[in-house]
A and B are shown apart, each in its own frame.
Chain A
C-alpha cells in the first residue's frame, strides 16, 4: 500500500494499541502484554524463516535461556534487570549461533530434525526440574520483580504494558528495516541461491550464523520479558510443544510479514482465553492450532496474514503483485538427501 495509507494505518494502530488497553481490566492488560511478548517469538521466526528460509522448532529453548538468565540473576542474585536482560539476550544469541553451526551444512528437512533435537535436549536436560534445584536456591523461590525504566517503576499493568509495547514496536521496526535493507536482501539471496550469493562476495557462514543469533536473541528477549511479566520461571513453560505451537501459529499467520508477529502473538494469548470464555478447556487450543496449521498449508500456503496483505495490495492496485514464496514451509526446497532416497513430492 502507498506510504500515506501505510502511515495512516500505523497511526491508527498506534492509537488503538496505546489507548484501548488503558480502559481494560488488569487481567486483560496482562494478557495483551503476554500477547506482545509471544509476538516477539513469532517475530524471531519471521526473521529466521521468512528471510533465511530455515524452520526452527526450538525458539522457546532460546527464550528459556533469556528467561532463566533473568530469573536467576534478578531474583536470586539481585542484579538489575537492565544488566541481566542484555546478558540473557546475548546468551540466547550465542546458543542460537551454536545451533546455527551444524545448520550450515544442513537444510530443510534435516535442519528441522536438528531443531527438534535441540528442543528435546533442552527439555530433558537443560530444563529438567532437577537441574535447577540446587542452583541459585531453586526455581520456586525466584520472584522476579518489575524493573524501573527511566526512573518509573513498571509495577502497574498499564505501565508494564506500555514498556513491552515499546520493546515490541522497536523490534518490529528493526526487523522491518532489515527487510527493506541490506540484511533482508542478503538473507533472501542466500535463501534463493546461496552459491551465487557466495560468488558475489557474501560470506555465507557469517550471515547464516548472524541470522540464527539474531533470531535466537529476539526469542531470548521475549523470554526475559516473560520472566518479568509472570514474575517467575518454570521449566514447563518452554518445552518442545510450546516451540511447535509457536512455529505452527507463525506458519498459519505467515512469516512473510512483520504484521504476522503481532497477529500471531495475540492469537496465542487470546485463543485460549476465548476458549475459556466459552467454557471449553484451553487444552483445545493446541488442537485447534494443529488443525489450523494443516488446513492452512493446504488452503493458504503463504499464511493467513501474509495472504490477506497480498490480497489487499492486489485490491489496491499495488504495482508489484508479489508472488514471492513467503510461506514458512515452501521457502526451503533444497534438500540434501543421502544417495538413494528421493525427496520428491
Chain B
C-alpha cells in the first residue's frame, strides 16, 4: 500500500543528547492521515525518548516536530490537546479516585468552556453540558465494553480494563492523532490480540490516525500500516509489516528477542 500524501505528523531530523549520550541521532518519521504507524526497536533504542519528543514533553536539541503544521516544541501540554493530539500512558496515569465514567467525563470537561461559577450555580448551560458529557462518556464506555464498570473507581479496575479506559480517555476528546505509549505492556497474548482488534475498530469507527510505540511485535505487525525501526537512536529502516518482518538488519537488531 503506497503511503498517501497527507502528512499529519512530521518528525524531522531530531537529535537528543543527554550529557555524553546521544539518545536520538537524526531520527525522522512521518505519519499520514488515517494511518496506523508503528515504531519498534530493541530495548534502549531510544523509543521512549522519541515518544517524549513527539508528545511534546521533551524538546529535541536538533530538529523539530510538526503536527498539522504546528510546531510542538513551543506549546504547553494543555494546548496540544486542543490541536487534536492525544496520548496514552505506559504507566496508565488514570485518575484513580474517579470512577470509569468520571474519567471519561473529565476528558470531555477539559475541552468545555464553562468555569467554576457556572458549576457552582448549576446553570442551565452547565446542566446541559453535563448531560451531554455523560452521554458521550457512556457511549464510549459501551464501545469499549466497559458499561458495567461505569461506577467503579478507576483504581479498582484490573490492568487490562484500565488500559482500555486509558485508551477511551484519550479517544473521547475526538483527537486527530493518537499517540500510544506501549499499550500492550503488561498484557498477555490473548489481551494483546484483543487490544489489536480494538485499535483497528477504533481506527475504523473514529477515523483517528495513530502512532504506536511498542515492544510487542505481534501487536505491531497486526495493526500497523507502516513501521519504523529504531536502534541506538538511529532510524534503521521503514516499511510495511511484510517487508520489515523479513528485513535482515531488523532481525539482527532483535537478535535474542523473539520475532513473530
Direct contact of A and B (CB under 8 A): yes
A325 to B107, CA, bound (A): 21
A192 and B78 form a contact (CB under 8 A): no
Contact A181 B130 (CB under 8 A): yes
Contact of A185 among B76, B78, B98, B116 (CB under 8 A): B98
Contact of B93 among A174, A181, A185, A196 (CB under 8 A): A196
Contact check, A320 vs B81: say whether CB atoms are below 8 A apart: no
A193 CA to B153 CA, complexed, in Å: 14
The 0/1 profile, CB within 8 Å of B marked 1, for residues 177-207 of chain A is 1100111011011011101111111111000
Q: Would you call B95 and A193 a contact (CB within 8 A)?
A: yes
B173 at the interface (CB under 8 A from A): yes
Closest B residue, CB atoms, query A322: B153
Q: Is the CB of A324 within 8 A of B95?
A: no
Say yes or no for B145: interface residue by CB 8 A criterion.
no
Instruction: Determine if A204 and B78 form an interchain contact, defined as CB atoms under 8 angstroms apart.
Output: yes
Which residues of chain B have C-beta atoms less than 8 A from A222's C-beta?
Answer: none
CB neighbours (8 Å) of A322 from chain B are 153
A105 at the A/B interface (Cβ < 8 Å)? Answer: no
Is B95's CB under 8 angstroms from A189's CB? Answer: yes
- A177–B119 touching, CB < 8 Å: yes
Interface: A319 (CB within 8 A) = yes
Contacts of A118 in B (CB 8 A): none
* Cβ contacts under 8 Å, A259 to chain B: none
Asked whether, in the complex, the Cβ of A324 is within 8 Å of the Cβ of B109, the reply is no
Query: What's the tally of chain B residues with a CB closer than 8 Å to chain A?
Result: 44
Interface string of B77-112 (1 = CB under 8 A from A): 111111000110100011111110011011101111
Say whether B245 faces chain A, with CB atoms less than 8 Å apart: no
Docked complex Cα distance between A322 and B153 (Å): 8
Q: Do A323 and B98 form a contact, CB below 8 Å, given A177-B122, A196-B93, A201-B111?
A: no
> Smallest Cβ distance from B83 to chain A, in angstroms?
10
With contacts A185-B106, A201-B110 taken as known, whether A325 is within 8 angstroms of B97 at the C-beta atoms is yes
* CB–CB B153/A324 < 8 A: yes
Q: Which residue of A lies closest to B102 (CB)?
A: A185
Residues on B with C-beta less than 8 A from A203 are: 78
Interface size bucket, A side?
20 to 34
CB distance from B90 to the nearest CB of A (A): 12
Does A246 have its Cβ within 8 Å of any Cβ on chain B? no
Bound-state Cα–Cα, A210 to B151, Å:
28
Whole-angstrom CA separation of A201 from B109 in the bound complex: 9
Once the chains bind, are A319 and B151 in contact (CB under 8 Å)? yes
Contact (Cβ within 8 A) B95 A199: no
Contacting residues, chain A, for B76 (C-beta < 8 A):
198
Provide the main secondary structure of the chain A interface: helix
| One of A178, A183, A193, A202 near B78 (C-beta < 8 A) | A202
Bound complex: CA of A87 vs CA of B60, how far in Å? 48
**Is B18 an interface position by the 8 A CB rule?**
no
Q: What residues of B have a CB within 8 angstroms of the CB of A191 in the complex?
A: 97
Query: How many Å lie between the Cα of A139 and that of B116 in the bound state?
Result: 36
From B55, B82, B105, A201 is in contact (CB under 8 Å) with B82
Assess whether A182 is in contact with B78, with CB atoms less than 8 Å apart: no
Residues of A within 8 A of B110 (CB): 186, 197, 200-202
Task: Please report which residues of chain B, range 200-234, place their CB below 8 angstroms from some CB of chain A when the two chains form the complex.
Answer: none
B3 at the interface (CB under 8 A from A): no
What separation, in Å, do the CA atoms of A54 and B126 have in the docked complex?
26
Which residues from A are CB-within-8-Å of B129?
182
Contact present for B169 and A200 (CB under 8 Å): yes
Q: Which residues of chain A have C-beta atoms less than 8 A from B80's C-beta?
A: 199
Of A178, A185, A319, the residue contacting B105 (CB under 8 A) is A185
A201 to B86, CA, bound (A): 9
Chain A neighbourhood of B105, CB < 8 A: 185
* Across-interface contacts of B153 in A (CB, < 8 A): 320, 322-324
Q: B114 at interface (Cβ–Cβ under 8 A)? A: yes
Contact of A188 among B86, B95, B119, B173 (CB under 8 A): B95
Known: A200-B106, A200-B169, A203-B78. A183 touches B95 (CB 8 A): no
8 Å CB contact of B126 from A181, A196, A200, A201: A181
Known contacts A193-B94, A198-B76, A214-B116, then 7 further A-B pairs from the complex at CB < 8 Å, ordered by chain A residue: A188-B98, A192-B95, A193-B95, A193-B96, A195-B77, A199-B55, A203-B78
Binding site for B on A (CB under 8 A): 174-175, 177-178, 181-183, 185-186, 188-189, 191-193, 195-204, 210, 214, 319-320, 322-325
